Amino acid sequence: MKKLSSGRPIDLSRININEINEWLNSYNSVRGIIRCQAIISLHNGNSMQSVCTVLDVTRETIRTWKEKLRKGGITALLKEKKLGKRSKINIEKQKKLKVIIKQRPAKYGYDEKRWTGKILKDFMLKNWNINIGIRAAQLWLRQMK
């Protein structure tokens, strides 16, 4: 166990730094590279604070990375999460929606002059049986204009 000048001891005894270095030289994921650099820096005796500052991450983020590395090795550390949800509307409906949004809501039975998140949410539920949140509808309106 390595004791740093500031902070608690960091147990890196079961970590193969050579394996991380090899991976670092052959991998192209920026997130993975940052994680590996953090672990290597800690292993080399750099303080948690300096690693956080240089890599622009929080202490909690680095603690999470260390825990993943301890529990599942480098595979767990480098495993990428799936980002976001899949869209509820397919590409075909997205194209139709772009055309619809360019027209006034009155054409579709609404009294408003412009599309709002509330109107779009209602339209999608009534016409396509797709239930989305108002905030999601607002985001779609912004993206499609």
Burial of residue 39 (CB within 10 Å: 0-12, 13-18, 19+) is buried
Q: What is the mean pLDDT of the chain?
A: 83
* Predicted pLDDT at 83: 67
Q: Decide if pLDDT at 3 tops 50.
A: no
Q: Decide if pLDDT at 99 tops 60.
A: yes
Q: Decide if pLDDT at 29 tops 80.
A: no
Rounded to the nearest 10 degrees, the angle between the axes of helix 59-78 and helix 48-55 is: 80
Residue 4's pLDDT band, with cuts at 50, 70 and 90, is: very low
Least confident of 11-20, 70-79, 85-94: 11-20
* Predicted pLDDT at 122: 95
The percent of residues in the chain predicted with pLDDT above 90, rounded, is: 32
- Does the pTM surpass 0.95? The reply is no
Q: Decide if pLDDT at 60 tops 90.
A: yes
Q: Decide if pLDDT at 10 tops 70.
A: no
Over its C-alpha atoms, the chain yields an Rg (Å, rounded) of 24
Give the C-alpha separation, 18 to 39, whole Å.
Answer: 12
